[in-house]
């Protein structure tokens, strides 16, 4: 039953991409743009809390990554990769936040299982935040877009690609660059 649900979700994501049309791989906010502020309900390890961009930026840079659907194969791979490298982000003072249009109950389970309770996973009903970040595909799915937001609230990196394999490497490099600049 779960495999069938996952397969259906994957087909829906593919259909959503096709229905919207082929989008530029670089459709996202540009480097240096002001990151839109947001407050969302999120889960970490199954526990719900409020995540606020301004509060997160007060602690350091933020890696904000949008993904299409919890428990689908690509999103699970991406969640595993981010969780495997969470210590690297923390050493650099960065906070990782995943966001999709899934409901909060789904995010609670996804955060505990696939994100390995390592970082916050936010529910974005109606994809309001995803739309503000130009990361919405339509039909209730976010595009796979990762941002690194500097403490000054501007976009330091924006990367869009449905392949989850490079999102961690790209965002980690951008966070390292911000860290090196701050140390100078």
Give the position of tokens 């916050």. 120
Give the 3-state secondary structure of the chain.
CHHHHHHHHHHHHHHHHHHHCCCCCCCCCCCCCECCCCEEEEEECCEEEEEEHHHHHCCCCEEEEECCCCCCHHHHHHHHHHHHCHHHHHHCCCEEEEEECCCHHHHHHHHHHCCCCCCEEEECHHHHHHHHCCCEEECCEECCEEEEECCCCEEEEEEECCCHHHHHHHHHHHHHHHHHHHHC
75 catalytically annotated:
yes
Burial of 115 (0-12, 13-18, 19+ CB in 10 A): buried
Question: From the candidates 9, 35, 62, 75, which is the catalytic residue?
Answer: 75
Catalytic residue IDs: 75
């Amino acid at each position: 039953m779960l495999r069938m649900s996952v397969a259906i979700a994957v087909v829906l994501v593919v259909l959503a991409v096709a229905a919207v049309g082929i989008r530029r791989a670089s459709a996202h906010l540009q480097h240096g743009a002001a990151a839109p502020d947001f407050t969302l309900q999120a889960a970490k390890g199954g526990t719900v809390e409020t995540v606020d961009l301004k509060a997160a930026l007060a602690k350091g840079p933020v890696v904000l990554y949008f993904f299409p659907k919890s428990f689908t194969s690509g999103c699970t791979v991406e969640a595993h990769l981010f969780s495997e490298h969470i210590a690297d982000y923390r050493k650099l003072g960065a906070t990782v936040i995943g966001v999709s249009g899934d409901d909060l109950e789904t995010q609670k389970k996804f955060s505990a299982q696939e994100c390995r309770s390592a970082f916050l996973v936010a529910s974005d009903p109606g994809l309001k935040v995803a739309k503000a970040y130009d990361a919405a595909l339509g039909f209730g799915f976010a595009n796979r877009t990762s941002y690194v937001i500097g403490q000054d609230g501007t976009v330091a990196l924006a990367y869009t690609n449905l392949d989850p394999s490079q999102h961690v490497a790209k965002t980690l490099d951008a966070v390292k660059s911000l860290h090196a600049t701050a140390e100078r």
